Amino acid sequence: MVFDFLKNLFKKKPNIAYAKSQKVDLLELKKNPYYIVASVELGNTTTKSIITATNMDTGRTYIISKYVRMTRDVRKPKKGEKVFGKTLWGVELSREAVAEMVRDVLLESLKKAGLTVDDLHFVVRSTGVTAGFASPEEVSEVIIALAQGCMLAGVPPNKMTPAMTKEQLPKPFDKYSFLDKIIFDGAVTGVLPPTGKEVVANEMEGELVTAGIKVGSKWTFVDFRNPCMSIDFGTTLAGRITNDSLPYAKVIGNLCGLAGAIADSIARGSGKIDKKTGAVLDLKPDGKANEKIAKEYAEKIHKYITIDEVPDGVKRFGTVPVDTEAAKKAGTTLLGCDVGNNGDKLYKLTELGKELVEKSNISTLLLCLDYVMADVVYRLVKLAKDKNLITKKTALGITGRAGISGKKPEIIIEKLKELNIWDKVEENVVFVEDGLALGASVMARCMNCLGTPKVPIGGNRGGPCILNLRIKWQKERGMIK
pLDDT in tens, 346-396: 999 999 999 999 999 999 999 999 999 999 999 999 999 999 999 999 999
> Which has the minimum average pLDDT: 5-9, 100-104, 220-224, 410-414?
5-9
For position 135, what pLDDT does the model report? 55
Question: In 216-353, which ranges are E strands?
Answer: 228-233, 237-238, 240-242, 249-257, 305-309, 316-317, 320-321, 333-339
Q: With 80 as the cut, is the pLDDT of residue 133 above it?
A: no
Residue 395: how many other CB atoms lie within 10 Å: 25
**Taking the CA of residue 325 as centre, how many other CA atoms within 13 Å lie in the half-sphere pointing to its CB?**
3
> Backbone dihedral region of 231: left (phi > 0), alpha (psi from -120 to 50 degrees) or beta?
beta
Q: Which residue has the higher pLDDT, 40 or 200?
A: 40
pLDDT single digits (tens) 272-306: 999 988 999 999 999 899 999 999 999 999 999 99
Average pLDDT of span 175-186: 92
**Nearest alpha carbon to residue 24 among 63, 77, 78:** 63
Average pLDDT over the chain, rounded to an integer: 91
pLDDT single digits (tens) 202-217: 888 899 999 999 999 9
pLDDT band at 14 (very low <50, low <70, confident <90, very high): low
Residue 230 CA to residue 224 CA, distance in Å, equals: 10
Angle (deg, nearest 10), helices 408-416 and 362-386: 30
For position 13, what pLDDT does the model report? 52
pLDDT single digits (tens) 219-247: 999 999 999 999 999 999 999 999 999 99
pLDDT single digits (tens) 420-471: 999 999 999 999 999 999 999 999 999 999 988 888 999 999 999 999 999 9
Q: With 80 as the cut, is the pLDDT of residue 4 above it?
A: no
Residue 22 CA to residue 451 CA, distance in Å, equals: 20
pTM of the model as a whole: 0.92
pLDDT single digits (tens) 404-419: 999 999 999 999 999 9
Tell me the chain's radius of gyration from C-alpha atoms: 21
pLDDT band at 8 (very low <50, low <70, confident <90, very high): very low
